[in-house]
Amino acid sequence: MRKDVRILLVGEPKVGKTSLIMSLVSEEFPQVVPYRAEEITIPADVTPERVPTHIVDYSEAEQTDEQLSSEISKANVICIVYAVNNKKSIEKVTSHWIPLINDNTDKDSRVPVILVGNKSDLVEHSSMETILPVMNQYTEIETCVECSAKNLKNISELFYYAQKAVLHPTGPLYCPEEKQMKLACIKALTRIFKVSDLDNDGILNDNELNFFQRTCFNAPLASQALEDVKNVVRKNVIDGVCDNGLTLKGFLFLHILFIQRGRHETTWTVLRRFGYDDDLELHQDYLFPLTLKVPPDCTTELNHNAYLFLQSVFDKHDKDRDCALSPEELKDLFDVFPYMPWGPDVNNTVYTNDQDWITYQGYLSQWTLTTYLDVQRCLEYLGYLGYSIISEQESQAAAITVTRDKKIDLQKKQTQRSVFRCNIFGDSGSGKSGFLQAFLGRNLTRQNIVSEEHMSYYAISTAYVYGQEKYLLLHEVFPDFDVLSDTDLACDIVCLVYDASNPHSFEYCARVFKQYFMDTKTPCMMIAAKSDLQETKQLYALTPLEFCRKHKMPPPQAFTCNTADAPCKDIYTKLTTMAMHPHARLRCMCTCNRCTFCHLQNFINSELVQTVKAKLYAAILSRHVTQADLKSSTFWLRVSVGATVFAVLGFAMYRVLLKQR
């Protein structure tokens, strides 16, 4: 909606322009009329449309042609006033005033014009027969009003129609020559219909129509009114009503009817509620709410309500209920967008099924990725889907959670985040791309059929850490060592990938770590990729294991995607765990049999410890436990002592092994 309206009154001398303005303001006909009235501003609270209105008068006696041209260019609507008892003033409308206005306005955005026939109190006949051909000839003429400044006839109506011509213009909606709705209007209303069709069956049922009515006009339709609307459509449009619901054809017909009957403010109310501006483009303030601010070191995630909304969007387009979106279903989902937002690379960024269709998990993962990497684009996409309308929120910003500063997470040793970023570093050919695709369950055979032009530098999916579902976002960093940006270095965990079969591969990982991550608090993990091939000694001063021990990193993790089935996902769970708990400095989550963790596990599972454990149980429980024992304090004392001894022995062994390490 515009912030204000500027109305300019022009016409021949003595037709009553100034009298009309003064009669509106004072509500009585002025006895003395000046050559020109000063500009008047009517406050918003006293206008029907609740918009401040500026009324500007023109006087040939007091103003120059340059001043007139300037006023025409600034006006939002122009009222050409003529006297109904003066044929010359009527002729001047077409011979002088309309050409003059057209010469001083942009051809692509004509200013609406209203013809005002003043002094109707002086004649008994109407001038409409003369004016109607003029209205049909010039499309910029919105309407014609006959009035009388002396009798105060239609004065307030005149300025109401002038406001209406600006705030609810007919031009963008309807072509009077063809008596058809314009293509841009049809396109906008079609999107509105599809957004409002909550079950995607091509019909607005009673519940959907009531929701639409309440959303746009703050009041539901009464049952009888609803039936009356559908009956009107039934009589005029074939297939306008189906299964007692309104089809798209019926929906469009209703709006044509509103426009033809002069109720185009109804259509504009609907359009503006769904985010459209005067040019029938989605408004920037609607697509990109200014309320969302993301401080440095904070990330953006979708909240629970946003995921519920996206789930409902998925469900209504997954017509075959196979928990995946076929290309046709995906196209249908994005039909409310002005362009296709997801390219072929998305299929290599998230989970897909055997037919390479995006699954439900992959669909939510892609939305999570977009929110994390480009929250403004996510807001735009949610705007196209009508999130704020369907969810009854002020804007799409209500769908976004801005996480707290990462420094606070480190101080509190806990995080509220659900999405963790892992940047993958490695030399060319080290196996980074294979590592990303393996996260999506694709072995080497399946990876080989993916075209290189559709490869993605991102992969995102879920991982479970201590029973909690989290998103792990893998990003393959371009291997040019000297052009690493702040974005390449900003992450929750670093993954250094080297080719275990290439003797020169590890050196790159060592250099990256020492230059960029050795003095940071970002946890790092070394990945020995292509472990199915014969391991080769790395041509570096330290072996990968020695390097990891020296820098207090977990030992290198062997990995391969050359498997018969989907590659193992344990490594990704470890990465997510380390990203969630960087403060814990988790040194090992493996079975390498070389580190303290593994030695301790082997000791606990050894035959000696199991024998001691069995004897302690036998001694404490005395083989048979009776009801009397359970009530005896002596029995529970023995249990406590035994448990304490076992715990002390275990802790002592752990300390010994840790000291050796």
What are the structure tokens assigned to 267, written together?
């259509």
The pLDDT > 70 percentage for the chain reads 89
Quick count: other Cβ atoms within 10 Å of Cβ 220?
16
Let me know how long the chain is: 661
Specify the 3-state DSSP secondary structure of 6: strand
The reply to whether 300-403 shares the fold of 5-167 is: no
Q: DSSP label at 320?
A: T
What was the pLDDT predicted at 46?
A: 75
Q: Which residues pair with 471 in a beta bridge?
A: 419, 462
Tell me the H-state helices in 465-524: 486-489, 505-512
What was the pLDDT predicted at 587?
A: 45
Distance between CA 187 and CA 276 in Å, rounded?
11
Packing angle, helices 206-217 and 264-273, rounded to 10: 90
Per-position b or e across 41-61, b if 16+ CB within 10 A of its CB: ebeeeebebebbbbbbbbbee
Quick count: other Cβ atoms within 10 Å of Cβ 13?
10
Mind giving me the DSSP string for 381-440? HHHHHTHHHHTT-SSGGGGEEEPPPHHHHHHHT----SEEEEEEE--TTSSHHHHHHHHT
Distance between CA 478 and CA 109 in Å, rounded?
48
Which option is the CATH number for 177-281: 1.10.238.10, 1.10.3720.10, 3.40.50.1970, 1.10.8.60?
A: 1.10.238.10
Which option is the CATH number for 412-580: 3.40.720.10, 3.30.365.10, 3.90.420.10, 3.40.50.300?
A: 3.40.50.300
Distance between CA 220 and CA 216 in Å, rounded?
10
The residue ranking higher by pLDDT, 543 or 106, is: 543
What are the structure tokens assigned to 149, written together?
């400044």
Q: How many helices (H) and strands (E) does the chain have?
A: 28, 20
Phi, psi torsion values for 513, nearest 5 degrees: -60, -50
Q: DSSP label at 204?
A: B
Cα atoms in the 13 Å half-sphere on the side-chain side of 357: 16
Whether the pLDDT of residue 586 is over 50: the answer is no
Angle formed at CA 216 by CA 214 and CA 220, multiple of 5 degrees: 25
pLDDT digits (tens, 9 = 90+) for 213-261: 999 998 888 889 999 999 999 999 999 999 999 999 999 999 999 988 8
What was the pLDDT predicted at 50?
A: 80
Question: Which strand (E) or helix (H) includes residue 600?
Answer: helix 596-604
pLDDT digits (tens, 9 = 90+) for 433-491: 999 999 999 999 988 888 777 889 999 999 999 889 999 999 999 877 677 788 778 89
Phi, psi torsion values for 463, nearest 5 degrees: -140, 145
Tell me the H-state helices in 127-247: 128-137, 155-167, 183-196, 206-217, 223-236
Distance between CA 342 and CA 468 in Å, rounded?
29
Considering the chain, what is the average pLDDT of its residues?
88
Distance between CA 348 and CA 339 in Å, rounded?
20
What are the structure tokens assigned to 241, written together?
């009503």
Which option is the CATH number for 300-403: 3.40.50.300, 1.10.238.10, 3.50.50.60, 3.40.50.1000?
A: 1.10.238.10
What was the pLDDT predicted at 654?
A: 63
What are the structure tokens assigned to 392, written together?
């009854």
Per-domain boundaries in the chain:
5-167, 177-281, 300-403, 412-580
Whether the CA torsion 483, 485, 487, 491 is positive or negative: it is: positive
Instruction: State the virtual CA torsion across 544, 549, 551, 556 in degrees, nearest 10.
Output: 40
Q: DSSP label at 289?
A: -
- Residue 605: which residues within 8 A CB-CB, separation 6 or more? none
The residue ranking higher by pLDDT, 314 or 259, is: 314
- Residue 250: which residues within 8 A CB-CB, separation 6 or more? 230, 233, 237, 239, 240, 241
Distance between CA 95 and CA 609 in Å, rounded?
109
C-beta of residue 302 within 8 angstroms of C-beta of residue 371: yes
What was the pLDDT predicted at 593?
A: 44
pLDDT digits (tens, 9 = 90+) for 409-424: 888 888 889 999 999 9
Whether the pLDDT of residue 588 is over 50: the answer is no
Mind giving me the DSSP string for 35-73? SSPPPEEE-GGGSTTS--EEEEE--TTT--HHHHHHHHH
Lowest mean pLDDT among 371-375, 472-476, 580-584: 580-584
What was the pLDDT predicted at 321?
A: 93
Distance between CA 440 and CA 459 in Å, rounded?
7
Whether the pLDDT of residue 608 is over 70: the answer is no
Distance between CA 76 and CA 45 in Å, rounded?
20
CATH topology of domain 5-167: Rossmann fold (3.40.50)
What was the pLDDT predicted at 128?
A: 87
Res. 17 pLDDT band, cuts 50 70 90: very high
Query: 77: closest CA among 176, 182, 171, 146?
Result: 171
Q: DSSP label at 570?
A: H
